[in-house]
Structure 1
Amino acid sequence: MKNTVIRAFLILLVFSGISCRSVKKSFDTKKNEVYIDSMFTNGLEKGFFPGAQVIVGSKDSIFISKNYGFHDYSKTEVVKAEDVYDLASMSKVLGATLVAMRLVGENKMNLEDRLGDVVAFYKNTAIADLTLFELLTHTTGIKPSITFYQSLLSTSNGLPFFSDQKSENYPELFDTMYVNNTIVYDEEYVSLEPKENYIQIAKTLWLNPEFYTTVYEKIAVANTNPSGKYLYSDLNLLLVKQMIESKTGVKLDQLTKEIYNELGISTIGFNPLKWTVEQNVIPTEIDNFFRKDTIKGYVHDEAAAIFGGISGNAGLFANATSISVICQMLLNKGNYQGKQILKTKVIREFTKSPLVKKGIYRGLGFDKRKPNDIYKKNDFGHTGYTGTFFFLNPDNDRFLIILSNRVNPSRSNTLMYKDDFTAKIWKKINKNN
């Protein structure tokens, strides 16, 4: 009797056009929306962030799309769907990695391409033999970051930049330290007004591009760890950008825009004040150190800032809606509305863990995690320092996007990380309910 009932149920599924796989993917929108509402309400009350956007979807559907809170803690501007957030390190995959995938698929780049062969500056340096594969998997041995911008600053009173105590010389807080109030810019490289050929790096700052030689020289001697081992580094993606631009002769922002245009998305890109109004840009940190201003419309990350907001490690701004289109394209094996944006085999190659036998779970560009009760083997995505997150589960046909500005007013606010906020929501929406 029991077998007969099971057989009848399966026959019913077949004739109703429903597969066992689609049953597995069922999503209780109302139940999950109640959970997400409670999480974001709690996050707002506890000061995880002033506001946020969230989208949950599949390769062909959007289940939940909501906005919460305000632009900042003045609570004068509510978060709207068209508002764009600073994506921080999500830019690594939604910008440079996406372009690399396109170029690899078109045989215009190869994962074994060596840095020194592609970018002439590095030809005779210690990092010349690093490959695109090593850069994308963060196995180059290059140190995590270099505070290039600090060499553009000095203090007129000769005292250090920071103090752990507030005083007459150190009145303003930045992160967890107080900032010297006599900081001045190096006039050889920094101007407070526009100059010919200078690059705008903030609302009232312009940089002499001759400074980039210093930057590249520092990167060339930054491989302080054995290559082959995993060490996440912003510098890797700076180098990926250089490889892409040297190979193509086209700037990264133009290459990303080409892909975004094919996808029909316009609320994503570098330097948002060039393509949206300032009112629709979410502010990030109050920077009392380098920019001496509330950062709004300019990239938060200092390394990306000195490159004029266009970088491989950071710089993209977007709303959740535009990112959801990219997620759907990736879950549809590179296809979006009949257009093959990326090759299926390339997506498969970039989103797997090619070094898992070495205990490295990283994808190519994409973040992956050691499988556990939250992250599954085939999950992939990325997070961002400003409080952003997106992950996809191709097996369960789910994706989650969370955009916030937890660094407003200060990057010292790490409450959402201490709460495992994004991981809890990702775990919940991946349950078959």
Structure 2
Amino acid sequence: MKKTGVRIVLVLLILSGISFSSLKKSFDTKQNVVFIDSMMNNALEKGFFPGAQIIVGSKDSVFIVKNYGYQDCFKKQKVKTEDVYDLASMSKVLGATLVAMRLAGEDKISLEDKLGDVVPFYKNTTIANLTLFELLTHTTGLKSGITFYKSLLSTPDGSPLLSDRKSADYPDLFDNMYVNKHIVYDTKYLSFEPKDNYVRIYKNMWLNPEFYTSVDEQIAVANTNPRGQYLYSDLNLILVQQMVEAKTGLKLDRLAKAIYNELGISKIGYNPLQWTSLQNVIPTELDNLFRKDTIRGYVHDEAAAILGGVSGNAGLFANAQSISVICQMLLNNGKYNGKQILKAKVVAAFTKSPLAKKGIYRGLGFDKRKPDEFYQKNDFGHTGFTGTFFFMNPDNNRFLIILTNRVNPARTNRLMYKDDFCPKIWKQMNK
């Protein structure tokens, strides 16, 4: 009778679709909270970042929601759940890629669409034949990025903007270099007061939109590497933005917001001061070079700043709770609250590694890794320069979101990367 009972249980498990592996991988919330608390307390003590938001969940549950530390290095205001972080390159997937997925599912854009056919400016350039697929997989051959903003800066005597040595003329540190104190701005393009048709790029800076022609011209000749090889590039997602905007006639922020509205999330978007208060925006870096200020309420990434805070490569701000809804939607094959937000076949296609046989472990927009001690074959997600991270495992339907501002007060703080901070937590959450 005992054997018969065991067989019945086995049959019921099989019929219900529950595997032994999933039973073994039940989430031990108490144990994992202890682990995360230990990791976070150690990170805060060592100065990895001022504070953080963390959420761990599954496709239909949230196991852990915690805030740690302070909004910035001055440690005056503790991190709150409603605070939003600058997501940096997580914007690539949570903004431009999500929009591309939606349009692909509606047959409004194709992965085989060519840049020059969609965006007229590039029609007669050497990058005209780049496809949306190549842009999303970072196989275009475009260089990793362009510091567009530096052409807006100069010095009266032609001396360098930056020096590797501190001196009377180079007193302030930016990254690992010192800034010339005599820098002047190009008034042909930059204004420190509002002007008609100018684009606001910082709280006291407006840009002449004529500058964007030079941006596109620089991108058009940025294919300096072999096409077909993998090279992660901000330029790729800036071009994805241009393609989706050309296809729809709508701006990226509006296209993305339509998806967020359907998901019922409101603590996510571009240019956060348009939808939340300054006190709820986590500060990032003290920028001694371009904006001469600690960045708060405006995007940290300079390329996205030049584009008015709305860019395919960066610009999104969000709290962890809003991102958790997107994770659940993706783990549920594009469905959330009974509504199909994205087509299931599109989610499957974008989150696989179509070029794995070539040794390119990348999804369409999404970051994927060669399987190792931290990452499994089907994991997907993305990270951000400001200290942000989110990954999902569709095999056990887990997700992890870690939002930090490790660049406050300076981007030179890379302690969290040397310690494999986020990958270690991700590995633990998948046990």
Q: Smaller-chain TM-score range?
A: over 0.9
Structure-2 residue corresponding to 1:414: 414
Query: Any conservation in 2 of the 1:82–1:280 contact (CA below 8 Å)?
Result: yes
Q: Separation in 1 of the partners of 2:366 and 2:15?
A: 40
Instruction: Could you tell me which runs of 5 or more consecutive residues in structure 2 were left unpaired when the two chains were aligned.
Output: none
CA distance in 2, matches of 1:191, 1:339: 46
Cα pair distance change 1:371/1:110, threshold 3 Å = same
CA shift at 1:280, angstroms? 0.2
Paired with 1:249 and 1:15, the residues of 2 have a C-alpha distance of 48
Residue of structure 1 in register with 2:101 after alignment? 101
Q: Contact conserved, 2:95 with 2:312, CA < 8 A, in 1?
A: yes
In structure 2, the residue matched to 1:57 is 57
Mapped partners of 1:162, 1:19: distance in 2: 59
Map of 1:187 onto structure 2: 187
C-alpha distance in 2 between matches for 1:264 and 1:214: 38
C-alpha separation in 2, matches of 1:97 and 1:326: 12
Q: Is residue 263–residue 325 contact of structure 2 (8 Å, CA) maintained in 1?
A: yes
- Which letter does structure 1 place at the counterpart of 2:141? G
The answer to whether the aligner puts 1:171 opposite 2:162 as a matched pair is: no
- Counterpart for residue 316 of structure 1: 316
Measure, in 2, the Cα distance between the counterparts of 1:8 and 1:45: 53
- Which residue in the other structure is 2:36 paired with? 36
Mapped to 2, the partners of 1:376 and 1:240 lie a distance apart of 28
Cα distance in structure 2, aligned partners of 1:165 and 1:427? 41
Please give the alpha-carbon distance, in whole angstroms, between the structure 1 residues aligned to 2:426 and 2:204: 39
Whole-angstrom CA distance in 2 between matches of 1:120 and 1:26? 52
Structure 1 residue 136 and structure 2 residue 132: aligned? no
- State the SS of the aligned residue for 2:67: strand
What's the offset of the Cα at 1:156? 2.3
Q: Structure 1 residues 129 and 280, CA, compared in 2 at 3 Å: closer, same or farther?
A: same
Which residue of 1 is the match for residue 269 of structure 2? 269
Q: Structure 1 residue 429 and structure 2 residue 429: aligned?
A: yes
User: What is the Cα deviation at residue 18 of structure 1?
Assistant: 6.5
Q: Is the 8 A contact 2:85 2:281 kept in 1?
A: yes
**Local SS of the residue matching 1:89:** helix
**Residues 157 and 6 of structure 1: CA distance in aligned 2, closer, same or farther (over 3 Å):** farther
Contact persistence 1:162–1:177 (CA under 8 A)? yes
Alignment of 1:62-101 (within 5 A): 62-101=62-101
Deviations 1:197-255 (A, max 9, x none): 00011111110000000010010000011111101000000000000000000000000
Residue by residue over 1:74-111, the C-alpha shift from the partner in whole angstroms, topping out at 9 and shown as x without a partner, is: 11110000000000000000000000000000000000
CA gap of 1:18–1:123, structure 2 versus 1, over 3 A, is closer
Distance 2:148 2:122 in 1: 18
Deviation at 1:20, TM superposition (A): 3.6
Matched-pair contact (CA < 8 Å) for 2:22–2:396? no
Across the aligned residues of Structure 1 and Structure 2, the Cα RMSD in angstroms comes to 1.7
Give the match for residue 335 of structure 2.
335
Determine if contact 1:268/1:318 at 8 Å carries over to the other structure: yes
User: 1:214-233 maps to which residues of 2 (within 5 A)?
Assistant: 214-233=214-233
Report the AA paired with residue 125 of structure 1: T
Aligned pairs, number: 431
The one-character-per-residue Cα deviations of 1:344-370 (angstroms, maximum 9, x if unpaired) are 000000000001111111000000001
Deviation of the 1:7 alpha carbon: 3.8
Tell me the percent identity. 75
Shift of 1:23: 1.1
The answer to whether residue 224 in structure 2 is matched with residue 254 in structure 1 is no
Report the Cα offset of residue 16 of structure 1.
11
Normalised to the residue count of structure 1, the TM-score between the two structures is 0.97
Q: Distance in 2 between matches of 1:6 and 1:430?
A: 28
Tell me the TM-score normalised to structure 2 length: 0.97
Change (3 A) 1:17 1:327: closer
Structure 2 match to 1:379:
379
Cα distance change on mapping 1:6 and 1:171 into 2, 3 Å: same
Letter of the structure 1 residue corresponding to residue 220 of structure 2: A
Aligned equivalents of 1:114, 1:329: Cα separation in 2: 29
- Cα pair 1:87 1:314 within 8 Å, conserved: yes
